[in-house]
Structure 1
């Protein structure tokens, strides 16, 4: 899988739909460990992207010190510009470069959260032990990931990339079906780390507006590796997008009220033993 180059503006075009699963995740996070009167809850957002979701953490925990971590310079620049510093309610947000494949907490955190990131991290479940170890007693590790790698928007992308015209350039750059584990696998892994664990799935039926909105959505996320691989050949990039657009129009027809895109996500909340 190719490490993609990210486009914050493209990603944020569907910010409202993308934020809803994160809010649903945060609603299931229990109270964080109690702090002294002058103490601040310590929160890490692993894979913070452009920082818009990190700002939601500050709304939920307005006395917290929150650090968003990401390995994309483009995303971090946007997060710094839009969200770094103290908030009106008193939280403190900062952002730092880190790679989830290797990041290990250097201080105790009360909450480590990851929003739509771990599907990009090979063998991410093997990192859970280090992250749980970095929590304070009673702290929480919570994440959500897209769980729709078999949906048409991904299946058609992979099928097109495997055709003779594109195979040599794209067949090995996209995410595959093993990028996200089953709910049971996550539950077992986290429970064996002595966490009280809640795992669930939700399918959202997003009603998208505009011309080719599913393509517009996936250009900000799942299609990034292909766009990165073809970045030096605009003619080939546009040809691939034309073919893919045609397939998506058939798979996701436009209705009078918009284009419906079913999107399943997987959630986990694991609370470390106190």
Structure 2
């Protein structure tokens, strides 16, 4: 897959960052000594963490050189490491593990979440927010365009590769054996955007990437053209001409007890 594009991703920085703002308000007031931001991207979530706990030792982890370059410019005082989260095996434990819109890309959450909790010090917090959008039109239409177009052979593996994240009950069951405080909520953010084309621009910075990466330039143009046409039928203008983008999100703040 081609590298992420920090500039494209940050076109909607305020909207992308809002769940993390809400997430951090639910953290305990104790100052963590050590913190890590998994899938830190261009550092927008890391910056919020730094502002909340300026005295904590923070490490940002991401696999994208482009994203990490942007993060280092944004927060030169923070340590950033290039690591694929699928292979992340730190040599230390943490008081706080933050992950904002990244763990949904990883498989087998039934094993992943207990492993993350095991990397916390006793009393430490796992703080996660994940988009729950696979059944939303923004994602369903990607899969439809992928399997109905002339690029079907190239994109069928992409369209069928990512499972939906679990339910609140699923994550509670996984975390309850090792966490004595589990705060979870599922909410939908409604983002007013100028038009349907802005929805496509948003998704080009994240969800569309795996679909566009296997295509040549001409195919990408045609894929985006067809995708935008379908988006326009799914997200109709409101009375003021703007479109509303519903964005369901699952949030978890769990505190390790043993």
TM interval, short-chain normalised: over 0.9
Give 1:78's aligned residue.
Answer: 70
In 2, the alpha carbon distance for the partners of 1:174 and 1:32 equals 43
Provide the aligned C-alpha RMSD in A.
1.7
Give 1:89's aligned residue.
Answer: none
Gaps of 5+ in 2: none
Cα distance change, pair 54–125 in 1 and its aligned pair in 2 (3 A)? farther
**TM-score normalised according to structure 2 size:** 0.94
Pair 1:235-2:218 in alignment: yes
**TM-score normalised according to structure 1 size:** 0.89
Alignment partner of 1:206 out of 188, 191, 201: 191
Paired residue total = 257
Q: Whose helix proportion is higher, 1 or 2?
A: 2
Cα distance change, pair 130–205 in 1 and its aligned pair in 2 (3 A)? same
Secondary structure of 1:165's match?
coil
User: Cα distance, 1:210 vs. partner?
Assistant: 5.2
Give 1:23's aligned residue.
Answer: 21
Give 2:57's aligned residue.
Answer: 65
Q: How does 1:31-42 map to 2 (within 5 A)?
A: 31-32=29-30, 41-42=33-34
User: Cα distance, 1:246 vs. partner?
Assistant: 0.2
Give 2:90's aligned residue.
Answer: 105
Indicate the larger mover: 145-154 or 205-214: 205-214
Pair 1:10-2:2 in alignment: no
Give 2:177's aligned residue.
Answer: 192
In 1, the alpha carbon distance for the partners of 2:161 and 2:112 equals 20
Give 2:134's aligned residue.
Answer: 149
User: Cα distance, 1:170 vs. partner?
Assistant: 1.0
Cα distance change, pair 195–227 in 1 and its aligned pair in 2 (3 A)? farther
Gaps of 5+ in 1: 34-39, 86-92
| Deviation string, structure 1 residues 213-235 (Cα, Å, up to 9, x no partner) | 110110111001012112xx111
User: Cα distance, 1:82 vs. partner?
Assistant: 2.0
